Amino acid sequence: MSGDPGAAPAHARPADAPLDSIRVTGLRAFAHHGVFEHERVDGQEFVIDVEVRLPLGPAAGGDDLERTVHYGELSEAVVEAVRRDPVDLIETVAERIAGVALGFPAVHETVVTVHKPSAPIPVPFDDVAVTITRRRAPAAPAAGAAAPTIPATTPGGSE
């Protein structure tokens, strides 16, 4: 990173810079999410796929970890987000994870899939999953203002 205080922050993206991807798939976390009492009491394994989109050229060009996302730290933060505070819907878990991913300053957009392979469905199935895409809102004109997230397209679905 540059020591010049007037330089653009590492996460700033020129309008023509492409968004690249870092994907972590198959993260596993045991948690107590679900509508039914037995899901809250017994818990179950959830499987998470998270993709973060950011320009990787600056990090690659300078071989600089500070200009990308440390995927080990991202993975730990995602698993921690899944494990805490039980909720009814995996849609809610997905939103929580998207917020965590967008908390990394270099991330401009994220795609999160939450799999619930042991969902209480009375017929044979392989998996139930919810996928959402969220992006950082355009930068606010005021310096230092936090950028809110805005929804992108979200496939419908419920548990």
Each residue's pLDDT tens digit, 94-117 = 999 999 999 999 999 999 999 999
Which residue of the set 116, 134, 135, 136 is catalytic?
Answer: 116
In tens digits, the chain (159 residues) has pLDDT values of: 334 444 444 556 666 678 999 999 999 999 999 999 999 999 999 999 999 999 999 999 999 999 999 999 999 999 999 999 999 999 999 999 999 999 999 999 999 999 999 999 999 999 999 999 999 987 665 555 555 555 554 444 444
Domains located in the chain, CATH noted: 20-138 (3.30.1130.10)
134 flagged as catalytic: no
Q: What pTM was computed for the model?
A: 0.79
Are 108 and 12 contacting, i.e. CB atoms less than 8 angstroms apart?
Answer: no
Q: Give the span between the Cα atoms of 67 and 56, in whole angstroms.
A: 8
DSSP string, 42-88: H-EEEEEEEEEEE--HHHHHHT-GGGS--HHHHHHHHHHHHHSS--S
In sequence order, the β-bridge partners of residue 24 are 50
Q: Which tokens in the block code for residue 139?
A: 């930068």
